[in-house]
Structure 1
Amino acid sequence: MSATATSLGPARTRLALLALALGGFGIGATEFVAMGLLPDIARDLLPSLYAEDPEAAIGRAGAIISAYAIGVVVGAPTIAAVAARFPRKALLTVLAVAFTLGTVASALAPTFELVVAARVAAGLPHGAYFGVAALAAADLMGPGRRGRAVAFVLSGLTIANVVGVPLITALGQQSGWRVAYLAVAAIFALTAVSIAVLVPATPGDPHATVRRELAAFRVPAVWLALATGALGFGGFFAVYSYVAPLATEVTGVSAGFVPVALVVLGLGMTAGNLVGGRLADRGAMRAVFRLFAVFAASLIVLALTATSVVGLLAGLFLVGAAAAALSPAIQTRLMDVAGESQTIAAAVNHSSLNIGNSLGAILGGAVIAAGWGYLAPTWVGLALCVPGVLAAVAGWRLTRPRGDDAGDDAIASFAADDDRVAVSPGA
Structure 2
Amino acid sequence: MSTTAPGTTATPRERVPRIVPVLAASIFVLGTSEFLITGLLPDMAVDLGVSIPQVGYLISAFAVGMIVGAPAMAVLTLRLPRRTTLVTMLLVVIATHAVGALAASYGLLLVLGTTSLYQAGMVGMLAYVAPLLTEVTGLAPGWVPVVQLGFGLGSFVGVTIGGRVADAHPWTTLFSALVAAAVLLGVLGLTAGTPAAAVPLIVALGLIAFVAAAPLNSRVFALAGSAPTLASATNTSAFNVGNSLGPALGGLAISAGWGFTAPSLIGVGLIAGAVALGTVSWSVDRRRGAVG
Instruction: Report TM bin, short chain.
Output: 0.5 to 0.7
Q: 1:385 to 1:215 in 2, by over 3 A?
A: closer
Tell me if structure 2 keeps the 8 A contact 1:216–1:341: no
* Structure 1 stretches lacking a partner, 5+ long: 1-55, 78-213, 405-416, 420-427
SS in 1 for 2:172: helix
Tell me if structure 2 keeps the 8 A contact 1:215–1:341: no
Distance 1:219 1:324 in 2: 25
Report what 1:260 is aligned to.
146
AA at the equivalent of 2:144: V
Q: 1:373 to 1:277 in 2, by over 3 A?
A: same
Number of matched pairs: 205
Report what 1:135 is aligned to.
none
Q: Report the Cα offset of residue 286 of structure 1.
A: 2.4
Q: Report the Cα offset of residue 393 of structure 1.
A: 1.1
Tell me if structure 2 keeps the 8 A contact 1:239–1:377: yes
Distance 1:256 1:215 in 2: 44
Q: Report the Cα offset of residue 400 of structure 1.
A: 2.3
Q: Which has the larger radius of gyration?
A: 2
AA at the equivalent of 1:346: S
Report what 1:336 is aligned to.
222
Q: Report the Cα offset of residue 254 of structure 1.
A: 1.9
CA-atom RMSD in angstroms: 2.8
Q: Report the Cα offset of residue 399 of structure 1.
A: 2.4
The reply to whether residue 375 of structure 1 matches residue 254 of structure 2 is no
Runs of 4+ in 1 over 3 A off after TM superposition: none
Distance 2:197 2:106 in 1: 40
Tell me if structure 1 keeps the 8 A contact 2:182–2:272: no
Q: What is the percentage of aligned positions where both structures have the same residue?
A: 34
Tell me if structure 2 keeps the 8 A contact 1:232–1:385: yes
AA at the equivalent of 2:149: V
**CA deviation string 1:291-339 (max 9, x = no partner):** 1111112112312322122212111011111111111210100111121
Tell me if structure 1 keeps the 8 A contact 2:121–2:242: yes
> Given the alignment, which residue of 279, 283, 307 partners 2:165?
279
* Structure 2 stretches lacking a partner, 5+ long: 1-79
Tell me if structure 2 keeps the 8 A contact 1:216–1:222: no
Tell me if structure 1 keeps the 8 A contact 2:137–2:198: yes
Tell me if structure 1 keeps the 8 A contact 2:191–2:197: yes
Report what 2:121 is aligned to.
235
Distance 1:365 1:329 in 2: 29
SS in 1 for 2:263: helix
**CA deviation string 1:237-270 (max 9, x = no partner):** 1100001110110011222211111111112111
Task: Tell me: higher relative CO, structure 1 or 2? Use CA pairs within 8 A at least 6 residues apart.
Answer: 2
AA at the equivalent of 1:272: G
TM-score by length of 1: 0.44
Distance 1:285 1:240 in 2: 25
Q: Report the Cα offset of residue 401 of structure 1.
A: 4.1
